[in-house]
């Protein structure tokens, strides 16, 4: 059969034009899915990174500490200094029954810890065992301070990760070994690998924790304490009892109960609430951007299918003339639409997963993944189902147009 050269060239141009359109449309779907999965994985990683800064810290807690007075009261001028004392613990326990844990903290800065030829600067904290309910330690070796340490004023300590790696560079369990701090020797009973940056008077990684009773005696602190960490009972909000906490402490030291600058109360509940709102906003933004991009890709698929149907008017009309049913034409157009969106979309998912995996590998320390950027399995399945749905929706309008083509019109168009 002889084929006219001009006719052959026209068919070739049409085929190449369709390929280009299909590629550009598929790229739109690919980019939309890629951006959606990448943003979801990146958002998950961002939430983990931010959450790790507060990991282990009780969300229903508050920290109370002292500052010079800002209001005159009972003949005292403003600017008077004062100190928290262990008596404040009893006052809070008796007068604010909504409190669950009330744990005092005593700190000392600028100490040097020495073990053999290794030395490192550190901060010291005198704590009670119940402080672990406010800021949960991540004990890698040994244990945390217990009640017998407090009662017997044992010279024991729990060291942070940075101090452990500096004083014991060879690794291993350091429990039972001694370190020297300010001319006093302490036996290591635990190593805290906590990474929370929600800390007061020094992070856990560079802190040496010792029994509160021992620190009060060793540093001649008497009954003085620097801060009080509290948690509230279930069903109670910190904000509802903050004024009462301030009043109880203020009255015990002859301070104006309304002097918020003198009795500082840091409500961590508010901070965690802000973080939750931030995470909700990030998730909403991710879905808006991702779905918007996907819809743009689906509209592109619908447009290319409309052009394809128009260019195949003669073919569709002839198929109708020889017995093809509308259902057959409908299934063909929709199948092509689903195939185009699915192939492009799954390619976008795979490419995004590869990028997220590379990000995870870059956030690995000692073989442990610190931040997970990957999306969940069911999230990926949901994305694939969404792609199929978009493919069906994108093919409906072109399929309806294809079914409306009559053989006579097709021949006339030819």
Residues whose CB is less than 8 angstroms from the CB of residue 212 and which lie 6 or more positions away in sequence, other chains included: 104, 105, 106, 126, 127, 128, 150, 225
Give the C-alpha separation, 393 to 400, whole Å: 11
* Element housing 232 (H / E): strand 227-232
Domain boundary among 219, 245, 268: 268
Give the C-alpha separation, 396 to 407, whole Å: 21
The backbone torsions φ and ψ at residue 295, rounded to the nearest 5 degrees and listed phi first, read -65, -40
Residue 413 confidence class, pLDDT cut points 50, 70, 90: low
315 and 228 in a single domain? The answer is no
Domain boundary among 216, 251, 268: 268
Q: Tell me the whole-structure pTM to 2 decimals.
A: 0.67
Share of the chain above pLDDT 90, in %: 32
The closest alpha carbon to 294, from 373, 380, 386, belongs to 386
91 and 191 in a single domain? The answer is yes
222 and 358 in a single domain? The answer is no
219 and 331 in a single domain? The answer is no
400 and 385 in a single domain? The answer is yes
> Tens of pLDDT along 333-361?
677 667 777 777 778 788 888 888 887 77
153 and 94 in a single domain? The answer is yes
Give 327-334's long-range contacts (Cβ < 8 A, gap of 24+).
Answer: 329/399, 329/402, 329/403, 330/399, 330/402, 330/403, 333/305, 333/309, 333/395, 333/398, 333/399, 333/402, 334/391, 334/392, 334/395, 334/396, 334/399
Query: Which structural domain range is residue 66 located in?
Result: 61-268
Residue 99 has pLDDT above 80, yes or no: yes
73 and 220 in a single domain? The answer is yes
* Element housing 66 (H / E): strand 61-66
Q: Give the E-state strand segments of 93-183 in sequence order.
A: 99-115, 118-127, 139-142, 156-160, 178-181
243 and 144 in a single domain? The answer is yes
CA angle 155, 161, 166 (to 5 degrees): 85
> Tens of pLDDT along 52-94?
666 677 788 899 999 999 999 888 888 999 999 999 999 999 9
281 and 323 in a single domain? The answer is yes
Give the C-alpha separation, 217 to 210, whole Å: 12
Domain boundary among 268, 297, 314: 268
Joined together, the tokens standing for residue 44 give 């998950």
302 and 337 in a single domain? The answer is yes
Give the C-alpha separation, 392 to 200, whole Å: 56
> Tens of pLDDT along 139-197?
989 999 999 999 999 999 999 999 999 999 988 899 999 999 988 999 999 999 876 66
Arithmetic mean of pLDDT, 32-38? 76
144 and 88 in a single domain? The answer is yes
129 and 20 in a single domain? The answer is no
Which range of 247-261, 338-352, 398-412 scores highest in mean pLDDT? It is 247-261
Residue 138 confidence class, pLDDT cut points 50, 70, 90: confident
Joined together, the tokens standing for residue 384 give 């694939």
| Structural domains of the chain, count | 2
């Amino acid at each position: 059969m002889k084929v006219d050269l001009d006719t052959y060239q026209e068919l070739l141009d049409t085929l190449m034009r369709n390929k280009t359109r299909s590629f550009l449309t598929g790229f739109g779907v690919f980019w939309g899915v890629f951006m959606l999965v990448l943003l979801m994985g990146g958002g998950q990683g961002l939430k983990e990174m931010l959450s790790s800064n507060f990991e282990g810290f009780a969300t229903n807690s508050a920290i109370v500490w002292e500052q010079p007075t800002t209001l005159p009261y009972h003949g005292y001028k403003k600017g008077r200094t004062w100190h928290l004392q262990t008596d404040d613990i009893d006052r809070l326990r008796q007068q604010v029954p909504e409190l669950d844990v009330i744990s005092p903290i005593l700190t000392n800065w600028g100490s040097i810890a020495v073990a053999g030829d290794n030395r490192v600067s550190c901060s010291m904290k005198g704590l009670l065992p119940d402080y672990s309910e406010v800021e949960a330690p991540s004990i890698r070796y040994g244990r945390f301070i217990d009640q017998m340490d407090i009662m017997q004023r044992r010279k024991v300590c729990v060291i942070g990760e940075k101090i452990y790696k500096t004083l014991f560079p060879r690794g291993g369990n350091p429990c039972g070994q001694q370190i020297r701090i300010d001319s006093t020797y302490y036996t290591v009973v635990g190593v805290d690998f906590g990474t929370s940056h929600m800390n007061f008077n020094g992070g856990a990684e560079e802190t040496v924790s010792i029994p509160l009773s021992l620190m009060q005696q060793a540093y001649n602190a008497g009954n003085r304490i620097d801060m009080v960490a509290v948690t509230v009972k279930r069903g109670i909000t910190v904000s509802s009892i903050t004024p009462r906490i301030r009043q109880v402490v203020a009255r015990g030291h002859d301070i104006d109960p309304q002097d918020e600058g003198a009795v500082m109360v840091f409500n961590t509940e508010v901070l965690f609430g802000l973080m939750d709102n931030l995470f909700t906003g990030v998730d909403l933004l991710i879905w808006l951007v991702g779905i918007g991009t996907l819809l743009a890709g689906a509209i592109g698929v619908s447009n290319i299918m409309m052009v394809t149907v128009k260019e195949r008017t003669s073919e569709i009309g002839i198929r109708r003339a020889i017995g093809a049913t509308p259902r057959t034409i409908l299934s063909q157009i929709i199948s092509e639409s689903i195939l185009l969106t699915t192939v492009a979309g799954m390619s976008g998912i795979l490419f995004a997963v590869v990028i997220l995996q590379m990000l995870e590998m870059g956030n690995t320390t000692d073989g442990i993944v610190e931040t997970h950027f990957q999306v969940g399995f069911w999230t990926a399945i949901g994305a694939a189902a969404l792609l199929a749905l978009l493919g069906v929706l994108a093919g409906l309008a072109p399929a309806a147009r294809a079914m409306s083509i009559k053989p006579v019109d097709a021949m006339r168009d030819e």
